[in-house]
Structure 1
Amino acid sequence: MEEKHRILILDDDPDVREWLQGVFESAGFAVSAVEDSKAMQERLNAAPHSLAVVDLKLKGEDGLAVARMLRKGSPIPIIMISGQGDETDRVLGLELAADDFINKPFSARELLARVRAQLRRTTELSIPRPAAMAGSGPRFSFDDWVLDMGTRTLTRGEGEPCILTQGEFALLAAMVQHPSRIWSRDQLLEQTRGFDADVYDRTIDVLILRLRRKIEPNPQQPSYIRTERGMGYVFSAPVTRL
């Protein structure tokens, strides 16, 4: 199955770029390896990609800004890499765009494990369904939003799509199907990341923040996803199963 996946690598260090390309090609992946965002966009326009590996520190460019730009136009998983071990970089990267974050130095084995975990989640949430099954899953509405479990989409109004990462979709799907339930962070981590995820205390807080920015009328005063102090989070908007 892996030979069907194409990995995008964005790193301005030619030695690192060559090593990453060798790791992925040896594991059976197709690879697009580039040094700047312009070349990245050209490769993305030329062929579909399954996942992106983006360096945080790029010459003349902000890796976080590049990842955020990529996220706005594509739901593919993004793994950010950095030579710094500061948790602030990790939290900021996840908050803005990334699905995972790995610090240098790292082994080929660890990198491949993280990539495969992200691809499994993507496959589980986004695998194309036969036409006969399209839209066959339950649909839920809250205000002018519609969450379709069959097509794995979130739309607004007349069908305007809202692009969600895999973790964001899984978190929202769990909460919408159980409105008024108070979820602890551990319970939401189990729902959104899976047993093989690299998780830490702020993961759910970051996902909640990103979701609020995308769906809340006022993210600063959330009316859908509310914080229950000392307990976790609750989806408080009325939900209708369509």
Structure 2
Amino acid sequence: MSFCKDCIKGVTHDGTPEGKIETIGGIECYVATPTVDYPKNKVLLFLTDVFGLPLVNNKLLADDFARNGFKTVLPDYLHGDAIPEDAMNAGTFDIGKWFATHGTADTRPLLDSVITALKADGVTSFGATGYCFGGRYVFDLAFDGVIASAATSHPSLLQVPADLEKYASTAKAPLLINSCTTDNMFPLEAQAKADEILTGFAPGYKREYFEGCTHGFAVRGDLSDPKVKAGKEGAFKSTVEWMIKHM
């Protein structure tokens, strides 16, 4: 498995996070809670890119989901060692060395601790939305039957076609994929293969495509570019609608 140059490129967005840092299952999490009544037994897991909990973009997106009625939990499954924001666009960060200590064996136990604690607190239904690095975990949680609804934007670390075939044969969670024009992690050929394998998937499958966008657009895109801005907003809208329908 590998990453691409766009995995650590992007733009930091403006805004002030409105959620809170809480410790859940011994893991630091960013929690965005709706200000209106919401189903207390449901949580949307926000599975971040490699910039993790510290990147303001991730927290602002979590806030946006909360505004749409979802209690949203962003776990620090990178054990306090997210790629620093100042590495974005620098072109010198060794992401391969970083990944050597951030594989599934390192990260999944932290995510599982959060999920176990939320279940103990009365949560009975989870959705998951994963960006880049987080897309891998959306698939894995669906494989394990943990989540009721799955969405991913420009996923990284997938094995194509193996993971798509496994999803079709074993997963029960309806799946949304937000894809784009330029994406070395989930290129046009992989997008076509997903459609080939998952069209007709009984629980539900949909792929959105955002022309003129690049890997990372849904969370780190340059909002001064009209196509990227439309792509980010479109991916968010499609994810909200998917979770409303399926979570």
- Taking structure 2 as the reference length, the TM-score comes to 0.34
Q: Which has the higher contact order (CA 8 A, sep 6+)?
A: 2
- Taking structure 1 as the reference length, the TM-score comes to 0.35
